[in-house]
Amino acid sequence: MTRQCSDLFLDVFDSGCGGCIRTCECGIIHFDGFNEWDWKEGELEALQEKAKKHPGRYVEKDCAIGTLSIDGIEIVYDCTCDLARKYEQFIISYGARLADYLNKRAELLRQNAEIIEVKVE
């Protein structure tokens, strides 16, 4: 069973992209074999055959395939690779350090903004 990340994490990092087929960063190919899509002739059947032969590499679902966008990569919702949970756990584990960094970075940006003179003509 896939360990899940929190709903909050899913909401914040949702890519806003979904579709009939997506490849997770881990290489697992997920596809929606239930809903009507504009598949090329034989494309869905080929994916279903691959899912039978390689169940860990091709995963058929009964819904559109949604993804998370994290660090420039796409992670498919509910993928067995568990990457989303690992990213969330990193953020939780280093939350205080990340907050400290962001606060210090924001202060530096404020200081730099005060130095910049903007002329309005």
State the Cα–Cα distance between residues 9 and 17, nearest whole angstrom: 16
Pinpoint the alpha helices (H) of the chain.
Answer: 7-13, 43-53, 83-93, 95-115
User: Looking at 40-49, 57-66, 98-107, 110-119, which range is the least confident one?
Assistant: 110-119
User: Looking at 34-38, 44-48, 59-63, 117-121, which range is the least confident one?
Assistant: 117-121
Residue 28's pLDDT is: 97
| pTM (predicted TM-score) | 0.80
Q: Are 15 and 74 in contact (CB under 8 A)?
A: yes
The full set of domain ranges for the chain reads: 7-115
**Who's near 36: CB < 8 A, 6+ residues apart?**
none
Q: Is pLDDT above 70 for 2?
A: no
Task: Give the count of alpha carbons within 13 A of 16, CB side only.
Answer: 1
Q: Is pLDDT above 60 for 23?
A: yes
81-99 pLDDT tens trace:
989 999 999 999 999 999 9
The CA distances from residue 96 to 32, 43, 79, 100, 103, in Å, are 39, 48, 28, 6, 11
